[in-house]
Amino acid sequence: MNVYDILLGALLILIIALAVRKIYRDKKSGKTCSCGCGSSGGCSGNCSICASGCSMARKKDK
């Protein structure tokens, strides 16, 4: 293996790890909602399946 291959592999692993960490932290802090009521403020129309509904998600974002 070439040194550059190892560095590229390590960089890719680091990027993936940071992305997973960000997703985990956002989910843990309540910034995401599986029904589409997340931080964007938009509502996909499935708010009845959310535990708190879109109005609560929008209040949480402010």
The predicted-structure confidence for 9-62, as pLDDT tens digits, reads as follows: 999 999 999 999 999 998 888 776 555 555 555 555 555 555 555 554 444 544
pLDDT value for 62: 46
Q: Which residue has the tokens 């940071």?
A: 18
56 residue type, one letter? M
Same structural domain for residues 6 and 18? yes
Collapsed DSSP state (helix, strand, coil) of residue 51: coil
Joined together, the tokens standing for residue 42 give 């938009």
Same structural domain for residues 43 and 62? yes
Domain of residue 23 covers 1-30
pLDDT value for 21: 95
Same structural domain for residues 37 and 54? yes
| Residue 3: pLDDT band with limits 50, 70, 90 | very high
Same structural domain for residues 22 and 40? no
Same structural domain for residues 38 and 54? yes
Sign of the CA dihedral 40, 45, 50, 56?
A: positive
What total number of domains does the chain contain? 2
pLDDT value for 57: 46
Same structural domain for residues 1 and 15? yes
pLDDT value for 28: 84
Joined together, the tokens standing for residue 59 give 């209040």
